[in-house]
A and B are shown apart, each in its own frame.
Chain A
Amino acid sequence: MFFWHVRKHLSAFIQGELSSDRASRISEHLLTCKRCRAEHEEIQWGIRLARRLPTLSAPPELTNAFEDALRSRGPARVARSRRVMALRWPVAIPVALVVTAAVIFFWYQRIRPLVSIRSAGPVMSKLETLALDLHLQEKKGALDFDFRTDDPDALGDWVAEKSGLELPLATRQPADEVREYKLQGAKILKNRDGDIVSVFYQVDRVPVTLIAASVRSLRKEETPSEGLWQKKIYHRSVSGTETNLLSWTRDKQSYVLASDLPGAGQQACFVCHTNPRRREIIRNAKLHP
């Protein structure tokens, strides 16, 4: 089970960035939770230190360079002429077309599916191969974790500190979730171009492996396309096994989720996603060829 700790929100709480409702809940929690109170005190100290960050004076040569640039480019003069006024109708028609296109676009945004699950290409990428390998090792119990914990907050901090990667793991499941999500731990693989982190879960005792890497550490052809109009997720059912692989890219990080969960394994996505609407979209996402 997950514990509802507020540690992730303490900076926002101290700096007045939370709604009053949320801030009140956090205040109440702090009265009863020694662990979060200790962390609150630590973050307050960190904020006090950070306030000492001074602004430095720009070197004088920058002002000279700026003056040169100002002389060569100067302010842009906007000249109005009668010919501009005469262009009203030829301007109005393209504007009307753009407005119509925008209306159609926003209408489409409302009705289109936000997530599409497509079949992955014929050849497994290196990231998929790695995810499958780690997943199979973990199923055999042959894997040594670098960090063993059941606390997603602590794991997120550890991953960020060791690799610079960000993992938005859910700290608690919605009340109506019937499956048990149990975090086991993580492992970091050192790579010349950038670290790869692997996180291990059990969902109702079924192993789930999530790996993440920065897109900068991958070749372009190895990076799943992010999708412009809808999020693209690539599915592969590994023959000879019950394992499904789901790959996607978001916010400059690529992920592979390996699991033996039924269907396309998309329930594994709930190790991160807790928003009810998003979960509904993921549950109902159809597999396209």
Chain B
Amino acid sequence: MVRVKEPLNEAALLDAFRKGDADAFRRLFDEHKDRVYSFALYLSRSEPTAKDLTQQTFVCVLARVGEFRGNAKLSTWLYRLVMNLYTDESRRQSRWMPLTAVMRSQIMSEKSPQEKRFAQMEIALAVKHAIESLKPRLRAAVALKYLDNLSYQEIAEVLGCSIGTVASRLNRGHKILARKLAYLRSSLQEE
């Protein structure tokens, strides 16, 4: 029997946490940690920096939970924190390692012997390599759209720009991906 995951009532969980329920915040952390980490990694292109950013983001939330009023999605707030922390961090340091090496080690550690799954992973790696090569502003917009399917309005709130700018950045990002990965058309058509 397939178990359907119940949607989280984030406002209720935050409220419970403010009243002393630490487990409520653990649930929120478990729900969001992968996406926050992924966004931090795509932004920074450095595993150590992404870990720092993720940790700092959640520490920030613990300290400022009273400020969150529930008028936006919690994920939007989290991404905005990551963005602000990354902006401060990127002024301080510039070390990074090729993203593809990080991604490959993460993905290849999963057990999947089938050929088709391997081909899918290779395509995913090619996509990530292409996204890695985007300029930071385009990379941030693309990551927010496809990690969490944020609307253009939500992406604009996270990045602190207009919806038109988001549309323009996503448009450019899509075109660059399409041109860089034109050679994958036949591979994807086989699926």
Contacts and interface: CB of A to CB of B under 8 A. Distances in A.
Contact of B58 (A39, A69, A75): A69
B12 interface: no
Interface of B is mostly: helix
A281 B131 CA distance: 40
A130 to B, nearest CB: 23
A11 interface: yes
Nearest to A12: B167
Given A63-B33, A76-B66, A251-B161, A8 B171 contact: yes
A45 B19 CA distance: 48
Most chain A CB neighbours (cut-off 10 Å) among B107, B143, B175? B175
Contact of A70 (B22, B37, B164, B175): B22
A78 interface: yes
A50 B142 contact: yes
A57 interface: yes
B20 A46 contact: no
Nearest to B24: A75
A16 to B, nearest CB: 9
Interface string B18-38: 111110011001000111111
Contact of A59 (B51, B127, B178): B51
A253 B184 CA distance: 36
B74 interface: no
Nearest to A59: B51
Contact of B34 (A15, A57, A65, A251): A57
Given A50-B177, A75-B21, A76-B66, A8 B51 contact: no
Interface in B89-142: 103, 106-107, 123-124, 127-128, 130-131, 135-138, 142
Contacts of A43: 171, 174-175, 178
Interface residues of A, number: 47
Contact of B177 (A49, A66, A164): A49
B108 to A, nearest CB: 13
Contact of B145 (A50, A54, A157): A50
A79 B184 CA distance: 60
Contacts of A59: 37, 51
Contacts of A81: none
A78 B167 CA distance: 42
B174 A75 contact: no
A51 interface: yes
A254 B156 CA distance: 21
B173 A54 contact: no
Interface stretch (B2-10, B77-85, B146-154): B146-154
A75 B22 contact: yes
13 contacts: A8-B171, A43-B174, A45-B178, A46-B173, A53-B146, A57-B37, A58-B36, A66-B58, A70-B22, A76-B18, A77-B20, A78-B66, A168-B168
Q: Which 8 A-B pairs have the closest CB atoms?
A: A46-B174, A46-B178, A58-B37, A53-B146, A11-B171, A58-B33, A46-B177, A164-B135
Interface of A: 7-12, 15, 17, 39, 42-43, 45-59, 61-63, 65-66, 69-70, 73-78, 156-157, 160-161, 164, 166, 168, 251
Given A50-B127, A157-B172, 12 more contacts: A12-B152, A45-B178, A48-B188, A50-B145, A54-B38, A56-B103, A58-B36, A62-B37, A69-B55, A70-B25, A73-B63, A78-B18
